[in-house]
């Protein structure tokens, strides 16, 4: 049989696309190398921040606002709690470009944002310790998404809407054409349209078609620390992004008593996504511990750490585009450690690109042609 659409990678982006396309009445096959949600890619670890006053640039705001609406819709459809309105504070020197972008985004799009000096912030959140020259820009309507639950919700809805999901079936090769052929160890599948949402494996997969995209799979670490619940629980302490001249960290309050969660956003080593990740080690502990000792000094001991994969583009903006010369193949890749919050809206965009050849969202910053590839 010839499917209307095959989706390679039913993770954060692919599962949302699968739901939208099946809902639109399309005959959809989703193929995944594992059984999502799983711990092999970029979507494990319980929580993801969603913020609207966007530090990466105001041009992301309409897209993330749409994503926020779709998360609410998903909650209503599944009657599940997927979003926690913890608020998010963006912390750093006022002159830092990220903090400036947060303020510009809020101003341009009329988002609620409260700015606190270091002293004011420490009074509001007594578990916090900041140097005098830092500010905290607090977005009260931002918060946290329960990442695996979101993917599970889209999975249930996609299958209910008639999508087919094959798990533990890795795609090995793609043959472009009016009818696209996709080969796995088990079979060859055919479709009129293809969507590639393979996360950390996108580069490897497109190489099978002779196409190179500048997306580098990168090892990342995060950890949970024991927390004084009076100071750090979810309705007392917000999620946070800390921006320094040469590094950035993000984290979460203690949600459901899990402890304070913390990760480092910048850096990390380039990896082959097929190799087992080097486990969370002593050096990773030292790095996260020194951040938390300085800024959340009343935390307790390290509970445990984990590793995960980012897919980095050189400019840290996403790639959402047709493949050059193949208008029936769309890729969404290179989410550079800040993509999950958008995945509900990416699912919608991929559906519109596939079915109508265009999207209501402005995708110009996500074009593949900004890089000198192919
Ligand atoms: C530790 C960590 C913290 C993060 N924090 C945030 C945050 O706070 N806020 C935020 O917005 N974002 C955050 N992100 C980023 C966000 O999680 C990612 O951008 C997003 O999950 C990427 O989605 P994806 O669909 O590209 O990849 P994935 O969700 O990993 O999905 C890719 C899927 O493709 C499958 N696949 C790959 N190759 C093949 C193949 N050949 N055949 C079949 N299937 C294949 C994989 O098995 C996988 O299921 C974080 C990421 C990490 C790792």
DSSP string across 7-18: EE--SHHHHHHH
Give dist(CA 348, CA 173) in Å, integer: 26
Residues 6+ apart with CB under 8 A from 276: none
Best of 189, 337, 345, 366 for a ligand 1 pocket test (most atoms within 8 Å of beta carbon): 337
Tokens matching residue 250: 């993000």
**What pLDDT is recorded for position 374?**
53
Handedness of CA 140, 146, 149, 154 (dihedral sign): positive
Structure token digits, residue 134: 């830092």
What's phi and psi for 35, nearest 5 deg?
Answer: -125, 85
Residue 208: its pLDDT value, please?
87
- CA-nearest of 256, 190, 173 to 6 is 190
pLDDT in tens, the chain (374 residues): 999 999 999 999 999 999 999 999 999 999 999 999 999 999 999 999 999 999 999 999 999 999 999 999 999 999 999 999 999 999 999 999 999 999 999 999 999 999 999 999 999 999 999 999 999 999 999 999 999 999 999 999 999 999 999 999 999 999 999 999 999 999 999 999 999 999 999 999 999 899 999 999 999 999 999 999 999 999 999 999 999 999 999 999 999 999 999 999 999 999 999 999 999 999 999 999 999 999 999 999 999 999 999 999 999 999 999 999 899 999 999 999 999 999 999 999 999 999 999 999 999 999 999 997 65
Nearest to 307 by CA among 249, 220, 224: 220
pLDDT digits (tens, 9 = 90+) for 2-19: 999 999 999 999 999 999
Query: How high is the pLDDT of residue 257?
Result: 97
Q: How far apart are CA 21 and CA 154, in angstroms?
A: 12
Q: Is 45 in the pocket of ligand 1 (CB under 6 A)?
A: yes
Q: Ligand 1: does its nearest atom lie under 6 Å from the Cβ of 263?
A: yes
The DSSP bridge pattern shows strands 326-333 and 188-196 to be parallel
> What tokens does 269 get?
């080593």
Neighbours of 283 (CB within 10 A): 8
pLDDT digits (tens, 9 = 90+) for 321-341: 999 989 999 999 999 999 999
**Ligand 1 mean position, distance from CA 309 (Å):** 7
Domains of the chain, with CATH numbers?
2-43+148-210+315-370 (3.50.50.60), 87-143+216-312 (3.30.9.10)
Query: What angle do the packed helices 147-160 and 12-23 form, to 10 degrees?
Result: 30
- Which of the residues are catalytic? 44, 47-48, 261, 265, 308, 341
pTM value > 0.85: yes
pLDDT in tens, 33-78: 999 999 999 999 999 999 999 999 999 999 999 999 999 999 999 9
Which residue CA neighbors atom 15 of ligand 1 most closely? 337
Reduced to 3 states (helix: H, G, I; strand: E, B; else coil), residue 262 is strand
Q: Token pair for residue 347?
A: 């699912």
Distance of CA 128 from the midpoint of ligand 1 (Å): 30
Query: Which string of b and e fits 213-243 if b means at least 16 CB within 10 Å?
Result: bbbbbbbbbbbbbebbeebbbbebbbbbbbb
- The DSSP output letter for 270 is B
Which of 164, 198, 240, 248, when mutated, tests ligand 1's pocket best, judged by the most ligand atoms within 8 Å of its CB? 198
Q: Report d(CA 260, CA 238) in Å as an integer.
A: 10
Q: 108: which residues sit within 8 A by CB, 6+ positions away?
A: 58, 61
Residue position matching structure tokens 């088990």: 186
**Cα 230 from Cα 173, distance rounded (Å):** 53
Check residue 220 and report its DSSP letter: E
Our measurement of the distance from residue 134's CA atom to the centroid of its chain's CA atoms, rounded to an integer in Å, reads 27
- Per DSSP, the residues of 282-331 read HHHHHHHHHHHHHHSTT---EEEEEEEEEEE-TTS--EEEEETTEEEEEE
Q: Are 50 and 144 in contact (CB under 8 A)?
A: yes
CA of 322 to the centre of ligand 1 (A): 20
Quote the Cα angle for 108-111-114, to 5°. Answer: 115
> How far, in Å, CA of 251 to CA of 271, rounded?
24
The CB-side HSE value for 55 (13 A sphere, CA atoms) comes to 27
């Amino acid at each position: 049989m010839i499917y209307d659409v095959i989706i390679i990678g039913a993770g954060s982006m692919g599962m949302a696309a699968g739901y939208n396309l099946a809902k639109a009445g399309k005959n959809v096959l989703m193929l995944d190398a594992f059984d999502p949600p799983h711990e092999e890619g970029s979507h494990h670890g319980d929580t993801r921040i969603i913020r609207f006053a966007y530090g990466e640039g105001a041009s992301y705001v309409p897209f993330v606002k749409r994503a926020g609406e779709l998360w609410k819709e998903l909650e209503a459809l599944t009657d599940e709690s997927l979003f926690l309105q913890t608020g998010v504070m963006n912390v750093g020197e006022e002159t830092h470009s990220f903090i400036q972008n947060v303020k510009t985004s809020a101003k341009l799009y009329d988002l609620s944002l409260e700015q606190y000096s270091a002293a004011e912030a420490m009074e509001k959140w007594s578990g916090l310790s900041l140097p005098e020259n830092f500010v905290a820009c607090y977005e009260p309507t931002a918060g946290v998404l329960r990442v695996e639950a979101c993917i599970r919700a889209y999975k249930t809805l996609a299958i209910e809407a008639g999508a087919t999901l094959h798990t533990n079936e890795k795609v090995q090769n793609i043959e472009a054409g009016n009818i696209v052929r996709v080969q796995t160890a088990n079979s060859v599948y055919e479709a009129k349209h293809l969507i590639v949402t393979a996360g950390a494996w996108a580069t490897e997969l497109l190489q099978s078609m002779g196409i190179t995209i500048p997306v580098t799979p990168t090892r990342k670490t995060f950890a949970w620390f024991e927390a004084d619940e009076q100071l750090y629980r979810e309705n007392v302490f917000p999620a946070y992004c800390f921006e320094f001249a040469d590094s950035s960290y993000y984290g979460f309050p203690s949600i459901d008593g899990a402890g304070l969660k913390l990760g480092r956003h910048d850096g990390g080593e380039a990896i082959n996504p097929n190799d087992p990740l080097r486990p969370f080690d002593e050096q990773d502990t030292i790095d996260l511990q020194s951040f938390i000792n300085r800024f959340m000094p009343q935390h307790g001991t390290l509970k445990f750490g984990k590793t995960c994969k980012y897919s980095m583009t050189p400019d840290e903006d996403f790639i959402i585009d047709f493949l050059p010369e193949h208008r029936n193949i769309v890729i969404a890749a290179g989410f550079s450690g800040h993509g999950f919050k958008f995945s509900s809206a990416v699912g919608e965009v991929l559906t519109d690109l596939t079915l109508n050849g265009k999207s209501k969202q402005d995708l110009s910053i996500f074009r593949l042609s900004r890089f000198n590839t192919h």
